[in-house]
Chains A and B, each alone.
Chain A
Amino acid sequence: DGGITQSPKYLFRKEGQNVTLSCEQNLNHDAMYWYRQDPGQGLRLIYYSQIVNDFQKGDIAEGYSVSREKKESFPLTVTSAQKNPTAFYLCASSIGAGANVLTFGAGSRLTVL
C-alpha cells in the first residue's frame, strides 16, 4: 500500500543535540511538507518542497533544516537553535503543489529532556 512513513514515532533528546526526523513516501508525489503541531496552535508549516532539490521556508523555519535530494524523501533536522522543540511533527505529501489533497504520515513526537 502507498503511503507516508515517518520515523521514529517517539524520540527523546537532550538539550543541545540535533535530531533528524525521517519522512519517506511511495506515492510518487512531487510536493512534500513538514508541519509542527502544538496543543491549541493547529498545524504550523515549517518547510515545504515542490520538487526535488528545491524547498522553501514556511512560517516557523527558524531552528530547523531540511533536504530534498530524492523525490521520496524529505528529512527534517531539528537543531539546537530551536528554542522549544518539544512537539508533534507531521510530514505530508501531495501530487503537486497547489490545491491538491495532502496525505499525512502518522507523525513523530519529539520530547526534549
Chain B
Amino acid sequence: QQPVQSPQAVILREGEDAVINCSSSKALYSVHWYRQKHGEAPIFLMILLKGGEQKGHDKISASFNEKKQQSSLYLTASQLSYSGTYFCGTEAWQSGGSNYKLTFGKGTLLTVNP
C-alpha cells in the first residue's frame, strides 16, 4: 500500500514555510523524501531511519515518528527553486530489518511564487 501524503498541493510566496506529511499503515524501517521537477527525474532529499539516524541535505529538515509511522518534511524560508512535486517513500519493517521494497506516495505539488 502506498503511504498517504498531505496536503496534495500547496502554494507559497517566497520566504514562507511549508510542512508536508507522510503516513503509513505499516511499521516502518525507513522514510525517504525526493523532489521531482516537471519532466525531470526525482532527486534525493532525505532518508530517516528507524532509530533516529538521518541522511540528507543541510537546508531541509524532517522528522520521523516511529510509533505513529509518520514523517514530516519541513521547508523553511522557501525559494523559487523549491517548486516541484515532493514524494515520500517508505520501507516496511520486516524480520528485524527492511523489506527492501521502497513504496512511494502520490506526491505533494509545491508551488513557490515570487
Contacts and interface: CB of A to CB of B under 8 A. Distances in A.
A107 B44 contact: no
B112 interface: no
Interface residues of A, number: 26
Contacts of B89: 43, 102
Interface string B44-73: 100101000001000000000000000000
Contact of B104 (A43, A50, A100, A107): A43
B26 interface: no
B87 A99 contact: no
Nearest to B99: A98
The residue in B30, B87, B101 that gathers the most chain A C-beta atoms within 10 A of its C-beta is B101
Contact of A102 (B44, B49, B100, B101): B44
B105 interface: yes
A1 interface: no
B98 interface: yes
Given A90-B42, A98-B98, A98-B100, A42 B105 contact: yes
Contacts of B103: 45, 59
A95 to B, nearest CB: 12
Given A90-B41, A102-B34, A106-B41, A45 B101 contact: yes
A40 interface: yes
A98 B29 contact: yes
B104 A44 contact: yes
A102 B32 contact: yes
Interface string A84-110: 000000100000011111111111000
Interface of B: 2, 5, 29-30, 32, 34, 40-44, 47, 49, 55, 87, 89, 91, 97-98, 100-107
21 contacts: A35-B104, A40-B106, A42-B104, A43-B42, A43-B89, A45-B101, A45-B102, A45-B104, A48-B100, A50-B100, A56-B100, A59-B2, A97-B98, A97-B100, A98-B29, A98-B97, A99-B29, A99-B98, A101-B44, A101-B55, A104-B42
Given A45-B101, A101-B44, A104-B42, 15 more contacts: A33-B102, A42-B2, A42-B5, A42-B105, A50-B100, A56-B101, A59-B2, A97-B98, A99-B47, A101-B47, A101-B55, A102-B34, A102-B44, A102-B102, A104-B43
